[in-house]
Amino acid sequence: VNRISSTKIGANGNVGRILIENLSEHPDYSPVAMVRKESQAEELKNKGVSTVIADLEENFGHAFQGMDKVIFAAGSGAKTGKDKTDLVDKKGAIRSVDFSIKYGVRKFIMLSSRGAENAEKADETMQHYLLAKKAADEYLKSTNLPYAIVRPGALTNGPATGKIKIANIFNEKGDISRKDVAAVLIHMLDHGIDGTQVFEILSGKVEIEDAVRLYLKTGQEVT
């Protein structure tokens, strides 16, 4: 099995912790978790996970050296202000794309958000956040870097179902568990999924692998 080194940016966040746990148990990957603090690194090292200490708001290019693929799942969080959102969700993501190109990363997986496509139409409480996500997404699209932009609905702490619905843009409300989002992000690392992909995901009834395959083949909503 071809083992792939993958940097996970935002490894201490809610989705990030699930990602690192699942990637560390995956036979195909050797994950490296990017964290800001030595205490966070020690906790992960005790679980057998490799780490790199770096801060999205400072110089973090060293985290990309030797990495094959990158998952960007960092987020400023709901309790921070607009400045922090710009620093992490927009500038941090854009700089991550630049470093990925510089160090020859083969694929970049971006955890975005449903609504980013039409961020200008969002209500005032979400608009700045979604505009930041959109800016990062559009920057990634403008590069020659192979990518997947995954836009989940409202995140829950529900169980892993392994099943989703997927579309370019949904015309319905919906949510999805963080565990299922993590599973989709990991699936998009698969060496058999080439090129570029952008889609929204919600909880559904179709197995993740089947849903992604059908969507990428047809371009049609899979529910």
Positions marked catalytic: 129
Pairing label, strands 154-156, 50-53:
unpaired
Percentages (nearest 5) of helix, strand, coil residues in the chain: 40, 25, 35
Distance (Å, whole) CA 129 – CA 69: 25
Q: Could you tell me if 177 and 160 are in contact, meaning their C-beta atoms sit under 8 angstroms apart?
A: yes
Residue 89 Cα distances to 3, 12, 130, angstroms: 29, 15, 9
Pairing label, strands 107-111, 69-72:
parallel
Distance (Å, whole) CA 64 – CA 61: 6
139, amino acid identity: Y
Helices H / strands E in the chain, number of each = 7, 11
